[in-house]
Amino acid sequence: MNKKTVLITGASRGIGREMAKVFAKNEYNVLINYNKSEKEANELYDELISKGYSVVLYKADISNPLEADAMVKFCIGTFERIDVLINNAGITDYKMFTDTTNEDWNNIINTNLNSVFYTTKSAVKYMLYEHSGKIINISSIWGMVGASYEVAYSTSKAALIGMTKALAKELGPSNIQVNAIAPGVIQTDMLNGIHEDVIEDLKNETPLLRLGTPLDIANLALFLASEKSNFITGQVISSNGGFVIN
Ligand code: NAD
């Protein structure tokens, strides 16, 4: 029970899945949240348990505040602590702005932004009590520079950057660090709706001439969760192969 605990939202596949593996391997207790992909979640759980790691699965739609709160309570009930919260779950929809319905808009804002408010608000109570904690929000380069056909997504990810900065100021005196990771183009199922020629162009426009991997992001999250990053807060760290250079 002295191990540190991380709660990762949307961790059954993609970047979240890799983070679950990396954190488990690095001796964290890991709560793997998933929503719909039950089969992938069970496979991941079985794989990590068979290696002797300390993990639990928790099904919750984190865009529902009651489910998000129950998930955080389950984490505390199971591991008696929450040291690191990684707000990773996210969705997108590749559509022209004029084709975006109110329902599309609300769905993306609820899943990518409101869920982070719900989950973080629940987790922060425990972090304040412990006078310690790390919150890592998974934003996106598109929240920094904007993406056409992803206006709702870009808006949600830009808002996450604003939330990260404001929360870092408010929680800093309580020894809670809040940072955002802004991944570039990362090879996951999220790219499925993009034509392969576009992906090839994105790769060629990247100075490092490759797409990112979930491991690139998981390693950065591990650093931001660790004591090595204790003086870093309110920052947006972009792992993007040089695709966006400020
Ligand atoms: P992914 O689609 O593989 O994973 C997203 C996960 O979020 C899925 O497991 C999904 O089930 C989960 N999820 C969605 N809605 C949920 C809900 N309401 N409750 C609980 N879980 C929910 O995509 P990914 O590429 O691994 O994306 C992970 C994060 O990284 C997302 O926030 C995404 O916006 C961000 N990101 C991805 C890229 C990329 O190029 N892949 C780039 C920048 C940022």
- Which residue, by CA, sits nearest to atom 33 of ligand 1? 90
- CB atoms under 10 Å from CB of 129, counted, come to 11
pLDDT at 176: 98
Question: Any residues with CB less than 8 A from the CB of 55 and at least 6 apart, and which?
Answer: 20, 24, 29, 30, 31, 32, 45, 48, 49
One-letter identity of residue 106: N
Annotation says 153 is catalytic: yes
Testing ligand 1's pocket by substitution, the residue of 34, 110, 190 carrying the most ligand atoms inside 8 A of its CB is 190
199 Cα: distance to centroid of ligand 1 (angstroms) = 18
Fold of 5-237: Rossmann fold (3.40.50)
pLDDT at 246: 86
Can you give the residue ranges of every domain in the chain? Answer: 5-237
What phi and psi, each to the nearest 5 degrees, are found at residue 37? -80, 75
What phi and psi, each to the nearest 5 degrees, are found at residue 147? -130, 130
Q: Number of C-alpha atoms within 13 angstroms, CB side, residue 52? A: 2
90 Cα: distance to centroid of ligand 1 (angstroms) = 4
The whole-angstrom distance between residue 203's C-alpha and the CA centroid of its chain comes to 23
pLDDT at 25: 98
**DSSP three-state, residue 56:** strand
pLDDT at 16: 98
What phi and psi, each to the nearest 5 degrees, are found at residue 13? -150, 175
Pocket of ligand 1 (CB under 6 A): 9-10, 12-16, 33, 35-37, 61-63, 88-91, 111, 138, 140, 183, 185-186, 188-191
- Which residue, by CA, sits nearest to atom 8 of ligand 1? 10
Q: What DSSP designation does 66 have? A: H
3 Cα: distance to centroid of ligand 1 (angstroms) = 26
- Which residue, by CA, sits nearest to atom 3 of ligand 1? 14
> Please, what are the averages of pLDDT over each run of 10 residues along the chain (246 residues)?
91 98 98 96 98 98 98 98 98 97 98 98 98 98 97 98 99 98 97 94 97 98 98 98 96
**Interface confidence (ipTM) of the complex:** 0.99
The whole-angstrom distance between residue 4's C-alpha and the CA centroid of its chain comes to 18
What phi and psi, each to the nearest 5 degrees, are found at residue 103? -65, -45
- What CA–CA distance (Å, rounded) separates 151 from 189? 19
pLDDT at 1: 53
173 Cα: distance to centroid of ligand 1 (angstroms) = 31
Residue among 21, 17, 24, 64 nearest 41 (CA): 17
Tell me the whole-structure pTM to 2 decimals.
0.98
- What CA–CA distance (Å, rounded) separates 153 from 134? 24
- What CA–CA distance (Å, rounded) separates 201 from 191? 13
pLDDT at 108: 98
**Euclidean distance between the first and final Cα of the chain, in Å?**
42
- What CA–CA distance (Å, rounded) separates 147 from 96? 11
Testing ligand 1's pocket by substitution, the residue of 8, 12, 15, 155 carrying the most ligand atoms inside 8 A of its CB is 15
